Amino acid sequence: MPIPAIGSLPAVSATDISSKAVPSTDGSAFGASLGGAVDGLQQLESTSNQLAVAAVTGDLTDIHAATIAASRAQVTLELVAAVRNKGVDAFNEIMRMQA
């Protein structure tokens, strides 16, 4: 297979390169991701609470669903708390470096 000559390749201008989508570096993507995780956590806790109420009232037919929902909510809460703690630690470390 022959290699094309440099002159036959399409030209790329600076506007082509600058028009590409560049992810923002202002932290908004991280904030949105963390907000989505908190929203998901609230949904898991709501589901867990509904299943717990159904178990107490005797309306629950599958106890495994309630146990799994409670475990998922607990593990997700621990994960979100760990990410929050790491974020706070990183912020404090940055503040110490500036002083």
- pLDDT lower than 70: segments of the chain: 1-24, 99
pLDDT of res. 28: 83
pTM of the model: 0.64
The answer to whether the CB of 78 falls within 8 A of the CB of 44 is: no
Q: Which helix (H) or strand (E) holds 48?
A: helix 28-57
Q: What is the pLDDT of residues 43-71, one digit of tens each?
A: 999 999 999 999 999 998 889 999 999 99
pLDDT of res. 96: 93
Per the rule left: phi > 0, alpha: psi between -120 and 50, beta: everything else, 27 is left
